[in-house]
Structures are given as structure tokens and as C-alpha cells.
Structure 1
Amino acid sequence: MSNIRVRQTRREDIPALIALQTRIYPTIPPWNKLDLLTQLEKFPQGQIVAEDESGLLGCASSIMVMWDDWTDEHSWYDITSAGTFDNHNPDGRTLYGVEVFVDPESQGQGVGHLLYEGRRQLCRAMNLKRIIACGRLPGYREHAADMSAEFYVRKVIWGDFNDPVLSFQLREGFSYFGVMPDYIPEDAESCGYASLIVWLNPDYEPDLPVVIRDDISFRI
């Protein structure tokens, strides 16, 4: 894992990111070049990648939001403005995790952990209160005929099931707060459901402003 680096996404990464996302999620439409360029323009700090000498291994994308505006049920398309990030709000105190994906050939090497740690470092550096995300539930389809998504999540939390995404997020220190239906309707593995999760920044200073900075270096 020592040769894996985390850095901010660059324009020249875009073709590789589209190709990687298409390979990982064949049933979900990938971002296009214009979307990715717009994301980099609106919130470059929130877009990070992991790489080694072979190339890109994964990606994590985020926006800032006023969480009170989104506490009710919402979809990925709603909160991200269909991937354009028009809802990015630099006055927000919540870092919203839009997407994380890792090359299947690199899974098990700690890439996902490094991307999540990169987000945590970003949250601390900018004095944001928390990270909130809605994670896929790719293990749910196998059990959908027998139980609700809510009960499936309980079984994951209790340790009866291992979900490739939620189990990992719980190990990363996130807490579970509910299920979002129709979050990504095209996500057949999750039957459209996602789990609402949160990580609270232990270094958050409510009396200090959000710090929008361009010199964030990831100490990973």
C-alpha cells in the first residue's frame, strides 16, 4: 500500500476515470467529459484519485451542502444535479460523498481506505462538521425476495451478512442512519436502495469559518 498515492483529480485523468467507471458499473450510465470538467471547476478540492505507477486505481468525489436542505429522502440525481454539481454550496458545513469507486483488480489493497482517509483529511483541513454519504447496497439483491432493505441492513450491522460497501463503511468509522429508496434506480444490485451514513469530524470548530484552500496535501 506504500506505493499508492492520493491526490486531487486533474483534467488529464478524465478519460481514464470514464473508462474505469464504465468497467465497474456496466448497468449505470457513467459521467461524461463535460460533467467531470464541471465538477473540477466547481469544487476541485473535493475530487481526489488514488494512483500507483500503473495508473489510476480509484476515485472519490464530493460536494459541500447545507445538510438541512437534504435531510428528507433524496436521490443521487437530486443532490448532485444529475452529476453537474450545481447544488455544491461553499457555505455548507457538510461534505457529501457523491461517489467512490475502485478498480476491481486493486481491491483488497487498501485503496478504498486511502480514499476515505483522503476525504477525512479534506474535512478536517476545511473545518467541515461531517461527511455524509449514501452508500450502495450491492449485496441486497440476493436477499430482496426474503426481506426489506431495512432488515437487510440490520443483518449487516449485526454481522450476519457482509455487504461489500456497507460493511466496509462501518469499518471506516461511519454510522448508519437509514435507508434511501430509489437513490440510484438503475443500480440493480442494490435494487435502487442506499444506506445513509455519517462521519463526524472530531476536530470541527463551530466558531471558526469553513476554510476553502487549494494547498491541501494528503498525508497518506
Structure 2
Amino acid sequence: MYRKEVYVFQETTPIPAVVRNYREEDFEDLIAVQKESFPPPFPSELWWNEKQLRNHVGIYPKGALCVEINGEIAGSITGLLVDFNPETPLHTWDEVTDHGYITNHNPMGKTLYIVDISVKPTYRKMDIGKLLMQSMYERVVYDKLDRVLGGGRMPGYHKHAVQLSPEAYVEKVVAGEIKDPVITFLLRCGRTPVCIVPNYLDDKDSHHHALLMEWKNPFKNIR
């Protein structure tokens, strides 16, 4: 499976951390991470439930990772394998993840799709999210997959929606003129834009849009 021991930094102080597969005994802590990461008005029905988590560790445990610091779960990331056709990229989160239950995981798929990434607010200045994303990149390289893919929320968009289309908003984020909490983070993780996806998720702040973003395996020639 997967286990990586690293240091994260609390300001200038190195703190030991472990990235590992999450397990059934972590479920309660993982749900607590979700609640802290996505407080209302984010829909509470989109927080993980135990059946979803049991599917994650049972169907594709390679894609179920967490970061543990001093015995506490600081964050998690979840993925599944899918087929992806760049010619027809539009989809919803529910469609591609089976509402978070990942029963449509394709063991032969070459795209590692990010279902969710969440980090407790108290740990967000320690680059936990970037560490989790890098761990997924390592999975892509090790298993000789094509890419990491996923829809990034645009939670800052509602502040600019009167003046800017979703496409114009993304252009300004990529140009560095606007900082979006999610899209800017994903850019810093090495992800690049693919296209805007309307009606991706029930997300008022993003006006229900998402930016599909990918990280291509640098060891494969992928167009």
C-alpha cells in the first residue's frame, strides 16, 4: 500500500507527518475533517458518510489517503480510476463519482480522478493539501497512469459574477489578478485548466461551476 514519512512546517518548525492509506478505524475522524473543512452553507449531505468511506477503502484503497500528525488526522484525499475522453470532458461530480460512492471505479482506467480533498483549517498553512496532491501524482507515476483529473470549485466567483463570466474569472485567476481559494491552490499544486464545467456541483459560491483541471504524467506522451 502507501506510507510516506515526511516533515511539514508550522512556520519555521519541522513537524513529523505521515501520509498513508486511511482505514475503517479512521472513519469518525475523516467525517470530522469534512465538517471542519466544509462548514455551512456547504451542503451537509455532501460530507462523507460511513458507507461512502467503506466503499473507498474497499473498492480502491490506493486512492484513499490521509495525513496524520501527532496521532491526529489532519486531512484526506480520495480518488478513483476512470476513462476520460478530452473530446467530451463535461460531466457532473455525481456522475463521475457515483455520488461519492465510487461504485463506477474502473480498474483499467488511466485517469486518477480526485473525488475530494479536505484539510482541517488549523493545518492549512502547513501545505497539507499540496502534500496529499503530490502523493496522488506519485500514484499516477508508479501505476503508469495518464493523469490526475478533477473539478476544482470556484468559491471566490460569487464576488465577481456580476462583472465576469466564469471563463473570464478563471482567466484572471490564472493571470494572478484574482486569488481563488481553490483554483489558485490547485495551480500551485501543478494542476492546469482543461475547461469550465457548468452545473458540476450544488455550490452557490461557485454558481455551481467548476474548473476541470489536470496533472499529466510527465513520463508519458499525452496530448
TM-score, with normalisation over the residues of structure 1?
0.88
What's the CA shift for 1:71?
3.3
Structure possessing the higher relative contact order (Cα contacts under 8 Å, 6 or more residues apart): 1
Q: Can you list the C-alpha shifts for 1:109-133, whole angstroms capped at 9, x where unaligned?
A: 1101110111011111111011111
Asked if 2 retains the 8 angstrom alpha-carbon contact of 1:70 and 1:79, the reply is no
Asked if 1 retains the 8 angstrom alpha-carbon contact of 2:36 and 2:121, the reply is no
Map 1:1-220 → 2, pairs under 5 A: 1=8, 2-26=15-39, 27-28=42-43, 29=45, 30-68=47-85, 71-185=88-202, 187-204=203-220
Amino acid at match of 1:195: L
Structure 2 CA distance for partners of 1:205 and 1:196, relative to 1, 3 Å: closer
Asked if 2 retains the 8 angstrom alpha-carbon contact of 1:47 and 1:60, the reply is yes
Structure 2 CA distance for partners of 1:125 and 1:189, relative to 1, 3 Å: same
* DSSP-derived class of the 1:131 partner: strand
What's the CA shift for 1:76?
0.5
Amino acid at match of 1:202: P
* DSSP-derived class of the 2:113 partner: strand
Amino acid at match of 2:143: M
Asked if 2 retains the 8 angstrom alpha-carbon contact of 1:127 and 1:205, the reply is no
Q: How many residues align?
A: 205
Paired position in structure 2 for 1:211: none
Q: Can you list the C-alpha shifts for 1:129-178, whole angstroms capped at 9, x where unaligned?
A: 11111111111111112211111100001110011111111122111111
Q: Show structure 2 runs of 5+ residues with no match.
A: 1-7, 9-14
Q: Can you list the C-alpha shifts for 1:163-219, whole angstroms capped at 9, x where unaligned?
A: 11111111221111111111112x22212111111111112489xxxxxxxxxxxxx
Structure 2 CA distance for partners of 1:158 and 1:69, relative to 1, 3 Å: closer
* d(CA) in 2 for partners of 1:70, 1:11: 38
* d(CA) in 2 for partners of 1:79, 1:145: 30
Amino acid at match of 2:37: I
Q: Show structure 1 runs of 5+ residues with no match.
A: 207-220
Q: Can you list the C-alpha shifts for 1:56-115, whole angstroms capped at 9, x where unaligned?
A: 111110000111299332111111111110111011111111111111111111101110
Asked if 1 retains the 8 angstrom alpha-carbon contact of 2:111 and 2:149, the reply is yes
Percent of aligned pairs with the same amino acid: 34
* DSSP-derived class of the 1:31 partner: coil
* DSSP-derived class of the 1:147 partner: coil
State the Cα RMSD in Å: 1.7
Structure 2 CA distance for partners of 1:8 and 1:137, relative to 1, 3 Å: same
* d(CA) in 2 for partners of 1:62, 1:204: 20
Structure 2 CA distance for partners of 1:72 and 1:200, relative to 1, 3 Å: closer
TM-score, with normalisation over the residues of structure 2?
0.87
Asked if 2 retains the 8 angstrom alpha-carbon contact of 1:124 and 1:204, the reply is no
Amino acid at match of 1:196: L
